[in-house]
């Protein structure tokens, strides 16, 4: 398994619009990508300008395929004006 976390800093006034786009992207990822198993969109009321994603893929190739999908490309373009910072971290599972 391959885990991806993403932390977005957004303008709190644009949070509703950003989250609408993000929810659409998350639903399409799980629904349309066989290699995407989980795509959680998380917020904290105490930090209204922050959105955290937790995604699980089969492997790195499945995540890289995600980055080429029409729904992801559309999300990136539409959400760019709302994002002031984006930090992506990727983790490969350590076999036990």
pLDDT at 95: 84
Is the pLDDT at 96 greater than 90, yes or no?
no
Q: 2-92 architecture in CATH?
A: 2-Layer Sandwich (3.30)
Give dist(CA 94, CA 31) in Å, integer. 27
Domain boundaries, the chain: 2-92
Least confident piece of the model among 3-7, 10-14, 31-35, 84-88: 10-14
- Find out whether 52 and 6 touch, Cβ atoms under 8 Å: yes
**Model confidence pLDDT, tens digit, residues 12-70:** 899 999 999 999 999 999 999 999 999 999 999 999 999 999 999 999 999 999 999 99
Average pLDDT score over residue span 75-80: 96
């Amino acid at each position: 398994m391959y885990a991806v976390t993403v932390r977005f800093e957004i303008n709190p006034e644009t949070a509703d619009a950003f989250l609408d786009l993000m929810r659409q992207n998350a639903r399409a990822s799980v629904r349309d990508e066989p290699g995407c198993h989980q795509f959680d969109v998380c917020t904290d009321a105490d930090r209204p300008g922050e959105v955290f994603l937790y995604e699980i893929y089969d492997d790195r190739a499945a995540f890289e395929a995600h980055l080429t999908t029409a729904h992801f490309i559309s999300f990136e373009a539409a959400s760019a004006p709302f994002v002031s910072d984006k930090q992506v971290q990727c983790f490969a599972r350590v076999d036990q």
